[in-house]
Amino acid sequence: MKLVKAVVQDKDSSKLVEGLVEKGFRSTKLASTGGFLKAGNTTLLIGVEDPEVGEVLSSIRAICQAREELVTPMAPMGSGAVESYIPYPIEVQVGGATVFVVDVAQFHRY
């Protein structure tokens, strides 16, 4: 058995959960925050049998879109130039999904 951990954008999460349910996959949706953008995203935990991993990955690929996000960088620390610092937003491409597939040592449902 594998545990698929998928970090996806909030905008895609409901559609992805629905798509997984339609295909008979169970998932758990966790509210998460990206370390870089410090913006909300969604982490899905999806436990599946090994042969089903490909189908789960196909669903994630089909539903989750990469998007451009604007980020305003913080003033550089210790440069002494904080007063003259003018923050310009930069564009960052946030991926459709960041996915980890890990082996499950044991699975129990009571």
Buried b (16+ CB within 10 A) or exposed e, 93-106: ebebbebeeeeeee
CB of 60 to ligand 2BA, least distance (A): 13
Interface contacts to ligand 2BA, rule CB under 6 A: 7, 34-37, 39, 41, 92-95, 98
CB of 39 to ligand 2BA, least distance (A): 6
3-state secondary structure of 49: coil
CB of 101 to ligand 2BA, least distance (A): 13
CA distances from residue 91 to 70, 72, 84, 100, 101 in whole angstroms, order as listed: 5, 9, 22, 25, 29
Our CB check for ligand 2BA shows the closer of 54 and 73 to be 73
Our CB check for ligand 2BA shows the closer of 56 and 94 to be 94
